[in-house]
A and B are shown apart, each in its own frame.
Chain A
Amino acid sequence: MLELNTLDRTQERPITVYALLPAFIIASVFVGVITIIAELAINSAGDKFIKTWLTETHGHHWVGKGIWTLILFGVFSFIGYLSLKIRSKETPARLVRWAGHTAIIVSIAIFLFYTYEYNLSH
């Protein structure tokens, strides 16, 4: 457990900051997953039903994805704030690096998916 009593509490609120990182990772993965699944999930009527649901609920599927990304980020930030335990001095830096890695992986996945989809149909 990180020894919080060695930190200047007026200068830093570690758990608040570090709780944002797993929340960002989850929200990023959600963006990647919903982006791909919304294009691939087709019901028996040939409808991309997840995209349709997002459009009907939020006016536009992309707006819906943005709203749910923010909601997930907020919810998991709060959960992380209540439950996150920093077990070593290295954990904060490790969490930050993983957040960066996740952003890269998700971005590449989204780009490759659309490139693949385009090449399939053209």
Chain B
Amino acid sequence: MVELLIEIIQWFFLLYFMALNIAYLALSLISFFCLSRYLRQHVLRELPSRNTNFEPPISLLVPAYNEEATIAASIRSLLQLDYPEYEIIVINDGSRDETMAVLQAEFKLIPFPDAFCIRLPIQAIRTVYRSRKYPELRVIDKENGGKADALNAGINVSRYPLFCGLDADSILQSNSLRRLVQPFLEDSRTVACGGMVQAVNGCEVSGGFLVRAGLPRNPLALFQIIEYLRAFLFGRMGWSPLNALLIISGAFGLFHKETVIAAGGYLHNTIGEDMELIVRLHRHLRLAGRSYRITFAPDPICWTEVPEDWRTLRNQRRRWQRGLADSLNLNKDIFLHRRGGTIGWLAFPFMVFFELISPVLEMAGYVVISAALISGYISLSAFFAFMLAAIGCGVLFSVVGLFLNEIDLRTYPKVQHLLLLFVVSVAENFGYRQVISFWRFQATIQWLRGQEAAWGKMVRTGAASRSSPPTERPAVASD
């Protein structure tokens, strides 16, 4: 009887494992073809571009909570973006440090009698400021309400039809907005577009822009570089052509404002507000029968600092897993809905079975297989076979992410970087991924038990070497 049970469990895990990896393989193949096609289509990007004044204006929304260390440099670099018309709205979400004082001193803020329509409910706004020196910069000082609330406040105050949500420590390239807006120009159905996010740890930053990509010494940061490549270059690039992309990073995404407002804006009662918004947009638009696109563009890049200590990383990954669970649960109507399309019948089930449940099954798998080995129900050979298969698939997809980066961005120019990242792709699967899975497992259990989640505190190490940006905005080429 026990042998039969072991047999059934063995086949269950094997079939699940095969289904999971076939799905990842399909995504990686789609990514490869779509990335190649994208690069061919946009070969003329190397030509100089001029502003035509027909580019749609964009509102940059920068929620800030306790960002005194980096906010000034971040905003200075945003002021230098190469884009004809945009505004920057910093939302100080009840910071308890000197964020507001830093902003006031650096940008000569004055209170401004801003009038705007409260289209999305938010916590009270204390004062709106405008910069005397940079009229395109406004700062909202408000009561703390969380990131979603801060973004909704920014949406309420914004003047332009597109808004770009950024993190306070996001480092953009000077052409990032120009690249991120392209899908909106090329396809009028586009309502949201996410860009590529990469780890700035180990890179050299000057004047608020990245000057040289490098690799960090910290092994956690190295592992995360591989994770990000995998997540973006085959996770998102794979889903985008199917119009089934379920997440756009909160660090760098461009949205059609009216569509977001119609869907209700960012939700307050979830810790994964960025993903939840995208899932809800899909649900809202699909069920309304509207033609739309939510897409990913691989070449506009945003650089962000990734955690270099275990505690911050743990908090982050638990938060992401809970955000995933929330997003799926809050929008479960779309699951296998007759009008769900690729979302309801493909992406959503994928997320449920292969992202939400997988850490639980993975942990169960380790327990079962270890128990089976100890009690002699499986041989050592079988044990190693299964373990190697699990690890091998992990290595394979990490290396695929690295390969896709070679085709597209070639972020790390030195051969030794490439070789190191290959070694990291392998090493990642011997302990690191298992720890991440364990945290995700914990987070899933906590979520099921209804335990409260928290953001936790990001320990900023200034992991990129930075020098101060110039004070004057460079001239922008125009006709």
Are the chains A and B members of one assembly? no
Residues of B participating in the A interface, judged by any CB pair closer than 8 Å? none
